[in-house]
Structure 1
Amino acid sequence: MSTENKQALPAVTLAAIGVVYGDIGTSPLYTLRECLSGQFGFGVEYGAVLGFLSLIFWLLIFVVSIKYLTFVMRADNAGEGGILTLMSLAGRNTTAKMTSVLVIMGLIGGSFFYGEVVITPAISVMSAIEGLEIAAPSLDPYIVPLSIIVLTLLFMIQKHGTGMVGKLFAPIMLTWFAVLAVLGARSILANPEVLNAINPIWAVRFFIEHKEVSFLALGAVVLSITGVEALYADMGHFGKLPIRIAWFAVVLPSLILNYFGQGALLLKNPETIKNPFFLLAPDWALIPLLILATLATVIASQAVISGVFSLTRQAVRLGYLSPMKIIHTSERESGQIYIPVINWMLYFAVVLVIIGFEHSSNLAAAYGIAVTGTMVLTSMLACTVARKNWHWNKVVVGIILVTLLSVDIPLFSANLQKVLSGGWLPLTLGLLMFIVMTTWKSERFRLLRRMHEHGNSLEAMIASLEKSPPVRVPGTAVYMSRALNVIPFALLHNLKHNKVLHERVILLTLRTEDAPYVHNVRRVSIEQLSPTFWRVVASYGWRETPNVEEVFHRCGLEGLTCRMMETSFFMSHESLIIGGKRPWYLRLRGKLFILLQRNALRAPDQFEIPPNRVIELGTQVEI
């Protein structure tokens, strides 16, 4: 590591504390309360308290420290992480059939994230504001309206970007974790016996004593690790080392101290189960703690919102979602983006969730099923990468997979009991997103296949046009081509209806590579197909936004000069109709695709082409 990087490491680590650990860092607000609330048939008993604390402690060690930070984060694509990145890596060295299975697994994991992201802001902010019940019970009716007001403000500022707000994240979250540690240590000193829960024998005793009920209780324990996927998804923003240092030096000790502090308080005074987190604090500190908790949960919500923006952009660039308006809110950081349609759809969904569930305990009953489902898929994809990409011994990989799934599958199975009590919500939202993504990908492929089935050869057509050219007019014509060696639809229609051709014709293909970024040296590839026909292929990573003006600037540097005001861009606009031979379920999928296509961002806006240089030629296509 260079001297400059060493100097930057503390700052990046501090930033990671502020963004990456917001969700998992606010879990102490509600986790132990839900574990011991009496819903599983036992209350605040000595064995139950130590059993739950032991389970939480070892889950944090095994799932977060060992699985994600040590194993899963080894799988990166040019430093980037996330479930779709893992899907892409896993499918590189496998058969076509296996790749299809891995793609489906990755899309299900991405869909689960959309389902979970609706619950995270709601449960986090409501849990913090519910501290008002302790300070002034009469304010209980105002918890829901205040939660909506806080989240409304949060979603409204998204369009201004998180750059300025982000500078406040790290100090606030560092203060939050310091307060967690101090409150927990203060309570542990008063009852150090609670530290016995570090011994895993208490977790084993808990399972032996409570049998089936203990298995169901895992659905509450998993609340302590919600947000763990953020460690992997945000890897591209901060790097592996800062995220690992932040966890082991600050976050993990603070969480353990606070959970054990709550346990010590409950052993001393079982009545504090009403809200053990806020009752850890002395009376004079209740209001400041309430304010700090609200700020921390807003930050946790911001981190999740930013995560869904990043996932959406990745899905759009990989062709799993329709093009949509993506606004860059920072000139220096490509990861800071704002997607209006996703922002407001998410906002209205969160508000409906808050109004419908009314209390964070009700939301806790719906939380966790999407998280644990993603954990199962992550284990399987990561082990595929270890075997196929890293060429680890298959016996070693098999042992790792069995070990990981021996934890993930029971957690997921325990959360299945939440389906009727609210778990249907993230599952339904995830299913809807899965249908949308698979519909767009498959129907888009079907559309392109129909458009290119005319069978004409590009080389033969160019040779024919050079030999017997139509009327040539001055200037440059650019035809957007989705695939190489395929005649653009707009070119066929222009020749058919206008019967003219420009002096110079450029076939432009914008390609998304399986990498987050493409170096400028490899950005543009130019090939002269004939005296007047050129092919230009511009490559972009899935974290980059294509820009046609930039493409032609680079073409100019390589000798193919184009003046934007002397260039016309020809594009085809497809009017879609559904074929009569389709079965009813494929007709429904076709109607969904037409709806998505109709509301998709138009190509001139998507590629930042000057609108006064665009000519669209319409065509009707049956799908």
Structure 2
Amino acid sequence: MMEITVKKVADWSLESFLSKGSFDSFDVEGGIETPQFHITSPADWLSLLKLAFQSIGVVYGDLGTSPLYTLPGIFPSGIKHRDDLLGAYSLIFYALTLITLIKYAFIVLSANDNGEGGTFALYSLICRHAKVSLIPTQQVEDNELSNYQLEAPNRRLSRALKVKSMIEKSHFAKMCLLLMTMLGTSMIIGDGILTPCISVLSSVQGIRVVKSSLTDTTVMWISAAILFVLFQFQRFGTQKVGYSFAPILTTWFMFIAGIGLYNFFKYDPSIIKAINPMYIVYYFKRSKKEAWLSLGGVILCLTGSEALFADLGHFSVRSIQMSTCLVVYPSVLLAYTGQVSYLREHMNDVSQSFYKSVPGTLFYPMFVLAVLASIIASQALISASYSIVQQSLALGCFPRVKVMHTSTKYKGQVYIPDINYLLMLACIGVTLGFKDTTKIGNAYGLAVVFVMTLTSALLVLLMVMLWKTHFSLIIIYVATIYLFELLILSSVLFKFLDGGYLPLAFSAFLMGVMYTWNYVYRKKYFYELENKVTVDKLEQIASDPSIKRIPGVGVFYSTLVHGISPIFTHYVENVPALHSVIVFTSIKYVPMSEIPIEERFLFQRILRNDLSIFQCVVRYGYKDARKGWDSFGEMLVERLKQFIREENEKENENEVQLIEDEFKNGGVTCLIGESEAVPLKGSSLTKRWIINYFYLFLRKVTRRQEEMDGIPYKRMLKVGMTYEL
């Protein structure tokens, strides 16, 4: 018998849906692959151009201002040999071409999750195509959320299935994937802290070219003030910020490209020969260890490349590719070309190579533009931080914070006030603590290259398991781009004590927060799964004449997808009353970016018709906006009535009318099961410390569930219970 599997279709059509039967998975602990659902339409070119223009103001500030500090980072002790500049230029050219242009603009952007980017988007793709999630919330019905077609077996498919099977069977592999994702996420947030520091400090220091009397302390305080103002603008949202910043940054790119061309023709056009990669070989032969250490400076020309992917949810693939290829890549490359040409005749100016290479009449306009551009540079990773925190929050890997959707048109444009102020305090703290860009550059380089290598590792797994890429192409990617990144990583790790420890310290703290929250989240879920209420017990409770049925629809919230939480029995023991209609509701975040409204609610009748007890799973993608409680309640009741009619319209019409009456008379009341966690007696010291101290602290300082869901107090009843984990 020929073996077949399923494969995602890029574009959507009703005709291509596979015919599927009706499944019931509420008591099924297993699961299957959960594909994407994405409807694409022909891009409107005017809208695409607007979005590409807007992306310049948000995504590319960091990449665009890297010429301010890259060459001083490559040659911190000065230029030893004139031809070293050719080697450095060749490294910059191939770094920008291989990593920014080829890897990010074309390969990594193809790994988007329904238009969403970032480390968690890669992880969600893997989770959806393999059972690697550490919480068993998969449901058979989730397979109907997307469009699949049959695919005949071949050698690449066989390899993909072997890798998938290996990961699914290994708890260690699943944990490694989760930790890698958390580390990548933590590093990007670390970038969001370091980017504003180094960008603003580098630009403000330029004034010392003409006013050498300014001290480091003065520059430091000016930078801190600018950073404070920058973070106050974030509340206005990506769209307004993008349109405000895009004209400034577009002007910046035009100026650095024009000055680069001017310097190239004026000083040394012969540097174009450095496109030959042999000049890298000559550079390493001549300088040896110094050349290897300079790779830590080369990585600075790539700062902000990860933002192309992390900020994707705010824009679109084509808009990012268009702005990268037509504006950003050529402008930045010309800026480096002009600086290197200038330095071939003025090697002693390397510490201020950007400002020294600017023609005298343009110095002040460029200084003002540089300061403005550096402020904008901070925007790329700040916006990315909001996106990835939103993703990790939805997947149970981050404490509860308020997510505000700032655009009705683009769902991925979000603002998180709590994260904004934490980033602001951290940025100002780093600026005041380090005062100059040397150590910040070392820290920044480590953070950037760590994220890149982790992205490549997940990307290779996607190539094998999802894309089923030809093995020779995977080898080419690993032997060129991935190997180059690992070589740079080895260089920046050498500077660990000279500032490189900072992003690792940030990441260790953030990973501790994320892992602690996810660890207790998983423990509580498994506790509920093991102690869930049986159907017989539920029927016994519902049929008990001593338990009164009161008017209205009772929505009993629980994290448990398969079964009913033990908190329910705890509630009945203390409050012997149930609503006339009961809906056990679980909010489930499917590892995909969006769920269509018509597929969001999944119902099942639990007991016989006269008891009107149902279970509902409400499925959200990680970038779906949660509506207010009133609209949610109305939608839930409408979908419930639709479900009852589909069961048997004639026989169940009376029950539909009952639900309508109960909704009108008693409304919808939310019963929230709030569980406290304590460690079991005899638990290890580490487990007791995590649950009793770190997790408890996180719960106290983060938002409550009712705040996240917008549930009014008059419609809410909380039921508490202690879990021994």
Q: Shorter-chain TM-score: what band?
A: over 0.9
User: Which position in structure 1 is the counterpart of 2:715?
Assistant: 613
Contact 2:73 2:294 in 1 (8 A): no
Structure 1 CA distance for aligned equivalents of residues 525 and 194 of structure 2: 37
Structure 1 CA distance for aligned equivalents of residues 424 and 505 of structure 2: 17
**CA 1:164–1:403: 2 relative to 1, 3 Å:** closer
Contact 2:72 2:350 in 1 (8 A): yes
The one-letter code matched in structure 2 to 1:122 is C
User: Which position in structure 1 is the counterpart of 2:519?
Assistant: 442
Structure 1 CA distance for aligned equivalents of residues 43 and 388 of structure 2: 31
Alpha-carbon offset, residue 527 of structure 1: 2.8
User: Which position in structure 1 is the counterpart of 2:388?
Assistant: 311
Residue of structure 2 aligned with 1:254, choices 331, 338, 363: 331
The one-letter code matched in structure 1 to 2:622 is W
- C-alpha offsets along residues 524-561 of structure 1, whole Å, 9 cap, x if unaligned? 22333233212222111101233343332223433254
| Residue 161 (1) aligns with residue 237 (2) | yes
Structure 2 CA distance for aligned equivalents of residues 411 and 33 of structure 1: 17
**CA 1:417–1:565: 2 relative to 1, 3 Å:** farther
Residue of structure 2 aligned with 1:22, choices 46, 61, 64: 61
Structure 2 CA distance for aligned equivalents of residues 465 and 311 of structure 1: 43
| Residue 276 (1) aligns with residue 353 (2) | yes
| Residue 233 (1) aligns with residue 310 (2) | yes
- C-alpha offsets along residues 145-176 of structure 1, whole Å, 9 cap, x if unaligned? 11011110111222333432321222111101
Worse overlay, 157-166 or 296-305: 157-166
User: Which position in structure 2 is the counterpart of 1:340?
Assistant: 417
Contact 1:538 1:551 in 2 (8 A): no
User: Which position in structure 2 is the counterpart of 1:557?
Assistant: 638
Structure 2 CA distance for aligned equivalents of residues 3 and 382 of structure 1: 27
Counterparts of 1:460-539 in structure 2, within 5 Å, are: 460-469=536-545, 470-530=547-607, 531=610, 532-539=612-619
Worse overlay, 283-292 or 459-468: 459-468
Worse overlay, 518-527 or 314-323: 518-527
Counterparts of 1:262-301 in structure 2, within 5 Å, are: 262-301=339-378
Instruction: Give aligned pairs, total.
Output: 619
**CA 1:303–1:405: 2 relative to 1, 3 Å:** closer
Contact 2:58 2:245 in 1 (8 A): yes
The one-letter code matched in structure 2 to 1:15 is Q
> SS of 2:550's equivalent?
strand
> SS of 1:618's equivalent?
strand
| Residue 115 (1) aligns with residue 190 (2) | yes
User: Which position in structure 2 is the counterpart of 1:596?
Assistant: 698
Structure 1 CA distance for aligned equivalents of residues 388 and 86 of structure 2: 38
The one-letter code matched in structure 2 to 1:463 is E
Residue of structure 1 aligned with 2:73, choices 24, 34, 38: 34
| Residue 569 (1) aligns with residue 670 (2) | yes
Contact 1:86 1:382 in 2 (8 A): yes
Structure 1 CA distance for aligned equivalents of residues 41 and 709 of structure 2: 38
Q: TM-score, normalised by structure 2?
A: 0.82
| Residue 124 (1) aligns with residue 199 (2) | yes
User: Which position in structure 1 is the counterpart of 2:624?
Assistant: 544
The one-letter code matched in structure 2 to 1:609 is I
> SS of 1:189's equivalent?
helix
| Residue 423 (1) aligns with residue 500 (2) | yes
User: Which position in structure 2 is the counterpart of 1:243?
Assistant: 320
Contact 1:36 1:49 in 2 (8 A): no
User: Which position in structure 1 is the counterpart of 2:5?
Assistant: none
RMSD (Å) for aligned C-alpha atoms: 2.1
**CA 1:554–1:473: 2 relative to 1, 3 Å:** closer
The one-letter code matched in structure 2 to 1:182 is G
User: Which position in structure 1 is the counterpart of 2:149?
Assistant: none
Contact 2:411 2:625 in 1 (8 A): no
Contact 2:443 2:499 in 1 (8 A): yes
**CA 1:540–1:169: 2 relative to 1, 3 Å:** same
Structure 2 CA distance for aligned equivalents of residues 356 and 565 of structure 1: 59
Gaps of 5+ in 1: none
> SS of 1:475's equivalent?
strand
**CA 1:563–1:410: 2 relative to 1, 3 Å:** farther
> SS of 1:26's equivalent?
helix
Structure 2 CA distance for aligned equivalents of residues 402 and 416 of structure 1: 21
Contact 1:491 1:570 in 2 (8 A): no
Worse overlay, 69-78 or 443-452: 443-452
User: Which position in structure 2 is the counterpart of 1:51?
Assistant: 87
Contact 1:524 1:554 in 2 (8 A): no
Alpha-carbon offset, residue 282 of structure 1: 2.5
Structure 1 CA distance for aligned equivalents of residues 375 and 712 of structure 2: 39
Structure 2 CA distance for aligned equivalents of residues 2 and 603 of structure 1: 37
Alpha-carbon offset, residue 13 of structure 1: 2.0
Structure 2 CA distance for aligned equivalents of residues 605 and 537 of structure 1: 20
Alpha-carbon offset, residue 109 of structure 1: 1.2
Alpha-carbon offset, residue 395 of structure 1: 4.5
User: Which position in structure 1 is the counterpart of 2:114?
Assistant: 78
Contact 1:569 1:614 in 2 (8 A): yes
Structure 1 runs (4+) deviating above 4 angstroms are: 1-4
**CA 1:324–1:563: 2 relative to 1, 3 Å:** farther
Contact 1:462 1:533 in 2 (8 A): no
Structure 2 CA distance for aligned equivalents of residues 575 and 9 of structure 1: 49
Alpha-carbon offset, residue 44 of structure 1: 5.4
Alpha-carbon offset, residue 3 of structure 1: 7.5
- C-alpha offsets along residues 491-538 of structure 1, whole Å, 9 cap, x if unaligned? 222210122222221111111111111111112223332332122221
User: Which position in structure 1 is the counterpart of 2:252?
Assistant: 176
Contact 2:556 2:673 in 1 (8 A): no
User: Which position in structure 2 is the counterpart of 1:6?
Assistant: 45
Structure 2 CA distance for aligned equivalents of residues 426 and 473 of structure 1: 56
**CA 1:589–1:286: 2 relative to 1, 3 Å:** same
| Residue 584 (1) aligns with residue 685 (2) | yes
Structure 1 CA distance for aligned equivalents of residues 401 and 324 of structure 2: 35
Alpha-carbon offset, residue 580 of structure 1: 3.6
Contact 2:593 2:622 in 1 (8 A): yes
Alpha-carbon offset, residue 122 of structure 1: 0.2
Contact 2:125 2:592 in 1 (8 A): no
Alpha-carbon offset, residue 489 of structure 1: 4.0
Structure 2 CA distance for aligned equivalents of residues 467 and 409 of structure 1: 65
Worse overlay, 101-110 or 484-493: 484-493
**CA 1:324–1:511: 2 relative to 1, 3 Å:** same
The one-letter code matched in structure 2 to 1:65 is L
Residue of structure 2 aligned with 1:397, choices 474, 479, 502: 474
- C-alpha offsets along residues 13-52 of structure 1, whole Å, 9 cap, x if unaligned? 22222222111111000101221231xxx52531111111
